[in-house]
Structure 1
């Protein structure tokens, strides 16, 4: 859990300001009732809080991630009230994916190395690599392999939903800030193409890791 917390801290240094300093200003420009937006945003931002002196890594991870997801879900939901869904998805997924690419820039060559992994070792190597994502999605396990070599993983309760603390799915954060953004970071043309299949309104998701062309 300590590693998950450290990774989350590192990632949020790159993407954590997007809801307030990129998406919220856009929302202010297009909202029909700016005062109402400001009031609701203040209520969401008021949930920010520092942790206790001896906070456990798990609690610190939940607190930071949960607040980011709540803020992302708020701005995406509000933007969808006044803008077409494709425009909102492009805005959010482009911004998140660009920041993630910069965050992962030193690791991208490592992902490319999967092209030279022997067939017999490929599933186990990918299992190890996919475990890197536990700080984003929580527990994940391989449940199958498709005829073309695609590895199928099950995420029983994605952390993007559970850390928000609402007891419900965070659909727009999930579809735009995770699925669409991550698929732009790891597209079909990449060394490790990823496909996310969220089971909304449930909390689970299926991840497919396809072999590069």
Structure 2
């Protein structure tokens, strides 16, 4: 149920790419309805369900997969994986295996650390802001969304510009292989987690002038 709510995604693909419909309980009308992909109003890490969070309860999701789907090899980790493997043009099966292996390397096992995974969303900026960033940091790899918008890699900024990979602050820290992942090192409190997250927000803004936002939801 969380996949359509958050429109989860990674490496250039999102849940909306394969979701055909979502069956929900509309608590406002007190009836079950099937919403088409377009009716779900999907966008980057957003949907109708996040815009009106108390109205819909997701019952089931229908996915339609494409056996001949176009593969996205634009992301550095994916590209490097297949260069190392020397497999040439990968199949869908090989792409799946690659993503699983890359994710296992970057994300901790939940049995080892408490974590919500990627803590912050990537940021979509204007083409002019993207050009400003590339001029200042030529090694930064950006991902165009369209002619006017560009996605900025927050994990890369946190790691390479802010030095947040593998840091420890009391009972909370970031994962050794991925600065975007905040982990509980033992008995971390919400206050400690929020404090570290704010330091990361401030660090990114200081280096780039970009404000980043949590992908996780705070529950009070």
TM-score, normalised to structure 2, is: 0.22
Structure richer in strand, relative to its length:
2
Structure number with the bigger relative contact order (C-alpha 8 A, sep ≥ 6) is 1
